[in-house]
Amino acid sequence: MAANETTAAAMTPPRDAAATAARDRAAEYLVSRHRYRWAEALPWLACIAVFFLFPDRLTFGSQVLVMVLFALSLDLILGYAGIVTLGHAAFFGIGAYTVGLGAAKFGWTEPVSGLFAAFVVASIAGFITGWFLLRYRGLTLLMLTLATAIMMQEAGNLRSDLSGGYDGLPGLVFDPLLGRFDYDLYGHTNYVYALVVLAVVFYFVRRIVYSPFGQALTGIRENVRRMHAIGSPVHWRLVTVYTIAAGIAGVAGALFTQTNAYVTLTVFDFENSAKVMVMLILGGTGRLYGAFLGAAVYMVLEDYFSKLSPTFWQFGIGLLLVLAVLFARRGVLGLFEQAGAYFGKDKNKGSKS
Amino acid sequence: MTAALQVQNLNRSFGALNVTCDVTMSLERGARCALIGPNGAGKTTLVNLITGVLAPSSGKVLLNGVDITTSSQAARARGGLARTFQINQLFRGLSVLENICMAIGERDGENNNMWRSAGAKRSVIDEALDHLDSLRLVDDALRLVRELPYGRQRLVEIAIALAQKPRVLLLDEPAAGVPSSESHLILDVVANLDPDIAVLIIEHDMDVVFRFAREIIVLVQGAVFTQGTPKEIMSNEDVRAVYLGQEGHDAVQRGGGHV
């Protein structure tokens, strides 16, 4: 009893070697957590390998990369901050139409600056809608974000003279990349372009996720009441990350328009919002690389099934989802982690963050 | 000198039900005050009004002389008001150490940083470890909170509040739900809090109240029934009738093992 009394009172009780070791171990974990691990090179190596192994499938490959980028932006808000949204396609669509309209109506055909423009415009949209909507959570937020995307789609439909409606803006022409690399029929340039953009955005997202701000987002996801109680400006934090994620979704949309050289109002489809969420959940939320795996698995299977059975291909996707929900609650990446923990010698300790 | 926390004529009603009726109280710096009352007396509501979870219908709350009645919860927390919850509100999927770092990061404004890695500021980690050290939680630093036994989770709950370096601390039944074999750990922590912090504790266990408090406020049906030193309260016949007579006496009989 007496021993307990004194330890609680003294802020720095004398420590023995074991306690010091425990402290160092704990500190080391936090200090080293953000460092790059070897396994993280794998998805990038896979992307590079695809370039050489499937030179005639790179148009499809760039579509996968676009969806990876889109899913990555969703991971930032859904996986880390715990914001559930069914309207993320709104920002994808805004980005897609920023470069689409820019090229079709204003002659803004330079691709890289187009991406920046898409980022800015989509961010502004994210900031404005986020400011109003992020006061709500759960189902209410789900409905409101869904409504936002539908409203944007209908606004585009209303001005189909500008947007091209569901026929879209076909035959967009963009300048050669950096003024040097023209677009070839097999999509080599597009693939490399998409991969570089993805890598750059990924670097920024990864920094944010491992920053104190990223930690605070995790805190909001884990327990928002506690975050209020420790003085966190929760709404402001959510609006900030929502704005960033909207901007990145806009970049993904812009890349979509540029690599396809056309855009229609279907980019705002509910299906697009739902698909990206399915991809992310399939891959694993809140772990960055889940976006890679989810988008790749989903799109490759979609491609495969649709060739196998053009009428019933969605059955395959549905079956996959049911299996994922039943056996891989934390996504495909979660399965890998479980396998790693099972076979590895306690090496992956604390891999879930 | 201004009191650390002042509550002036605070009212709150839910429809026709007045849950808080004209409550006036104040905590000096270093105060050790217990808030007691039968179930449904409005104790937790009062804490929620003070911390800004609920808005009062009328009345004022002042923190170190500054009117915070309309401030957000977060602004009050940054002003030095910390609380623990009756039911744990922790980041269950994070490690114990990360739970504490979260509070320090928000206190220092560190959590606004989007670029530096979370582990880059060693001073934050060291301070968090010091807090854990003083509560004997260092060995659990890397365990996920949800893996800890409930009693240890209660300690984390207090550790987070202390990491905010509060000037006013509101403890809502800190030992609630903890088996009596472990509750002494928590009560020792409560008994040895920094003497500069003004502490308001809600507690049902009369042993704890009489051990800890230098002042007791009795809340009945949302209103301050009486207040005074533990001795005065103990000898107050009216209090015995409404409160001690039913629950407190039983608790003493049972040896203070309130679960």
pLDDT in tens, B66-96: 999 999 999 999 999 999 999 999 999 999 9
Is B185 domain-assigned? yes
CATH number at residue B53: 3.40.50.300
Please tell me the total count of domains within chain B.
1
Determine the number of helices (DSSP H) and then strands (DSSP E) in chain A. Answer: 16, 0
Which residue, chain included where needed, has tokens 């803006």?
Answer: A169
The answer to whether B123 faces chain A, any CB pair under 8 Å, is no
Which residues lie below 8 Å from residue B16, measured CB to CB, with a gap of 6+? none
pLDDT exceeds 50 at position A348: no
Report pLDDT for A1: 39
Is B101 domain-assigned? no
Per-residue pLDDT, averaged over A134-140, amounts to: 91
Strand-pair category, B58-63 with B66-67: antiparallel
pLDDT in tens, B156-170: 999 999 999 999 999
Q: Which residue has the higher pLDDT, B248 or A88?
A: A88
Report pLDDT for B246: 55
Among A230, A232, A239, A353, which would you mutate to test the B interface (most chain B Cβ atoms within 10 Å of its Cβ)? A230
Residues A64, A50 contacting (CB under 8 angstroms): no
Structural domains in chain A, CATH included, are 39-48+56-295 (1.10.3470)
Percent of chain A residues past pLDDT 70, beyond the cut:
93
**Complex ipTM, two decimals?**
0.88
Per-residue pLDDT, averaged over B6-34, amounts to: 91
Per-residue pLDDT, averaged over A308-318, amounts to: 83
Amino acid, single-letter form, for residue B187: L
Is B130 domain-assigned? no
Cα-to-chain-centroid distance, residue B154: 12
Scanning A9-68 for CB atoms below 8 A from B yields: 9-13, 15, 19, 22-23, 25-27, 29-34
pLDDT in tens, B173-210: 988 888 888 888 888 888 889 999 999 999 888 888 88
- Beta bridge mates, A181: A177
Per-residue pLDDT, averaged over A7-26, amounts to: 66
Is B138 domain-assigned? no
Per-residue pLDDT, averaged over B114-138, amounts to: 88
Is B160 domain-assigned? no
Q: How far is B125 from chain A (nearest CA, A)?
A: 6
Which residues lie below 8 Å from residue B257, measured CB to CB, with a gap of 6+? B180, B251
pLDDT exceeds 90 at position A209: yes
Q: What is the rounded distance in angstroms from the CA atom of residue B120 to the CA atom of residue B98? A: 13
Give the model's confidence band at A20: pLDDT under 50 very low, under 70 low, under 90 confident, else very high. Answer: confident
The pTM of the full predicted model, rounded to 2 decimals, is 0.88
The answer to whether A339 faces chain B, any CB pair under 8 Å, is no
Report pLDDT for A312: 81
Helices of type H across B138-177: 150-163
- Phi then psi for residue A253, to 5 deg, are -65, -45
Report pLDDT for A351: 44
Q: What is the rounded distance in angstroms from the CA atom of residue A111 to the CA atom of residue A205? A: 22
Which residues lie below 8 Å from residue B187, measured CB to CB, with a gap of 6+? B174, B175, B208, B211, B212
Is B173 domain-assigned? yes
Residues B77, B52 contacting (CB under 8 angstroms): no
Nearest CB among B92, B94, B192 relative to A5 is that of B192
pLDDT exceeds 90 at position A66: yes
Average pLDDT score over chain B: 87
Report pLDDT for A345: 52
Pick the closest to residue B209 from B34, B32, B8 (CA basis). B34
Report pLDDT for A317: 83
Q: What is the rounded distance in angstroms from the CA atom of residue B96 to the CA atom of residue B102? A: 10
Q: Which residue has the higher pLDDT, A28 or A11?
A: A28
- Phi then psi for residue A179, to 5 deg, are 75, 5
Is B145 domain-assigned? no
pLDDT exceeds 80 at position A221: yes
pLDDT exceeds 70 at position A306: yes
pLDDT exceeds 80 at position A16: no
Q: What is the rounded distance in angstroms from the CA atom of residue B127 to the CA atom of residue B123? A: 6
Q: Which residue has the higher pLDDT, B15 or A63?
A: A63
pLDDT exceeds 70 at position A289: yes
Per-residue pLDDT, averaged over A65-75, amounts to: 96
Q: How far is A210 from chain B (nearest CA, A)?
A: 5
Q: Is A228 helix (H, G, I), strand (E, B) or coil?
A: helix
Per-residue pLDDT, averaged over A303-311, amounts to: 86
- Binary contact (A30, B118; C-beta < 8 A): yes
Give CA torsion, residues A119, A124, A129, A131, to 10 deg: 120
Scanning A194-223 for CB atoms below 8 A from B yields: 207-208, 210-216, 218-219, 222-223
Q: What is the rounded distance in angstroms from the CA atom of residue B18 to the CA atom of residue B87? A: 24
Q: How far is B221 from chain A (nearest CA, A)?
A: 26
Is B157 domain-assigned? no
Range scoring the smallest mean pLDDT among A12-21, B49-58, B170-179: A12-21
Residue A301 burial (10 A CB sphere; 0-12, 13-18, 19+) = middle
pLDDT exceeds 60 at position B253: no
Give the model's confidence band at A14: pLDDT under 50 very low, under 70 low, under 90 confident, else very high. Answer: low
Report pLDDT for A275: 92
Q: Which domain holds residue B61?
A: 5-90+165-254
- Beta bridge mates, B198: B168
Per-residue pLDDT, averaged over A166-187, amounts to: 78
pLDDT exceeds 60 at position B244: no
Percent of chain B residues past pLDDT 90, beyond the cut:
49
How is residue A183 written in tokens? 């677009």
Q: Is A149 helix (H, G, I), strand (E, B) or coil?
A: helix
- Which residue in chain B is spatially nearest to A11 when comparing CA positions? B134
